[in-house]
Amino acid sequence: MHIPIKRSRTNQVIGGVIAGFCEKYGWDPAVGRVLYVILSLTPAFPGIIVYLVLWLLMEQPN
């Protein structure tokens, strides 16, 4: 099972997951990363687990 969003090849820090979402929706990747880190610091959001699952489910960059 894959989701139809590709990880970024050119704008990746770790796996290109956040940059892939930002490229898909036309956002600035730096803003997306900051928002993800802030969201990950809240106790209700398991940030690392979500990132790893998305890394496995997103399509490979071309």
Domain total for the chain? 1
Mean per-residue pLDDT, 10-20: 85
Query: What's the CA gap between 31 and 11, in Å, rounded?
Result: 13
**pTM score, whole prediction:** 0.77
Whether the predicted pLDDT of 47 surpasses 90: no
Amino acid at 49: I
Domain of 43 in residue numbering reads as 3-59
**In Å, what is the CA distance from 48 to each residue of 14, 26, 51, 59?**
12, 24, 5, 19
User: What does the pLDDT read at residue 51?
Assistant: 87
61 has a pLDDT exceeding 80: no
Six-digit token pair at 29?
A: 């990747």
Residue 17 neighbours by CB distance under 10 Å? 25
- Give dist(CA 29, CA 57) in Å, integer: 19
